[in-house]
Amino acid sequence: MCGRYVLTTPGEVLAELFELDEKPHLAPRWNIAPTQEVAIVRRRDEGRELALARWGLIPSWAKDAAIGNRMINARAETVAEKPAFRDSFRKRRCLMPADGFYEWQEIGARKQPWLLRRKGGAPFAFAALWSRWRDPASAQPLETCALLTTTPNALASRVHDRMPVILPREAFALWLDPGAEPGALGALLAPLPAEQMEAWSVSTRVNDPRHDDASCVARAAADGGPPGAA
């Protein structure tokens, strides 16, 4: 599961990376958590747009928004068949811009948080889905999203048994293409190679989503290098 991530890249860099017509104005975030409003990039007839959606996908058929609290991740292996995600996988794929993400490594009775990111801190995109749900009581629309996870690479597996699907820039167009074949999409849902990533342990301060500042990504005082290193 991926339940926290980071996005601090300036808007002009995001506009270039995601080929947006306008520079987005996003405040830097160091500890983005489920149910919060997050940035997604999706395709429109006139090009790509950056929109805001609540993290935790609510299927269009859901009677209660609370289901979204459990739908922050979709497994790449089953996303095409699961009732909660299959319609969005066919029709409403999107990208979630990020700089890094957190995972928690079980060490005895405690859990140690780690920051994982591309080497050098380059921004990237999670493969993601979005949905539009209407509250049965008010008929008000709510747009929500979920990111896809896959088996971990050699680095991430030292921390957790899953990792987000990180798409290279050259895969953005295919992922957003409404006419893409399922087989071609499935080929994208692989872990990013471990040699393209780096990781370090961080303070348990990140455990509390109310903490959202640069100290969340700082190396822990006792950081001993890559997870699993001697």
Q: Which domain holds residue 165?
A: 5-100+122-193
Q: If you write DSSP's letter for every residue of 193-205 in order, what string do you get?
A: PGGGEEEEEB-GG
Task: Spot the catalytic one: 22, 46, 103, 216.
Answer: 103
Q: What pLDDT is stored for residue 183 in this prediction?
A: 92
155 is a domain residue: yes
* Cβ burial, residue 187 (10 Å; 0-12/13-18/19+): exposed
134 is a domain residue: yes
Domains of the chain: total: 1
49: CATH: 3.90.1680.10
Task: Spot the catalytic one: 2, 94, 145, 216.
Answer: 2
Q: What pLDDT is stored for residue 87 in this prediction?
A: 96
2 catalytic? Reply is: yes
Q: What pLDDT is stored for residue 45 in this prediction?
A: 82
**Model confidence over 127-169: pLDDT tens digits?**
999 999 988 777 789 999 999 999 999 999 999 999 999 999 9
Q: What pLDDT is stored for residue 226 in this prediction?
A: 58
116 is a domain residue: no
173 is a domain residue: yes
SS3 content of the chain, % helix, strand, coil (to 5): 20, 35, 45
143 catalytic? Reply is: no
107 is a domain residue: no
21 is a domain residue: yes
Question: 10 Å Cβ neighbour count for 213?
Answer: 12
Q: Which residues of the chain have pLDDT under 70?
A: 222-230
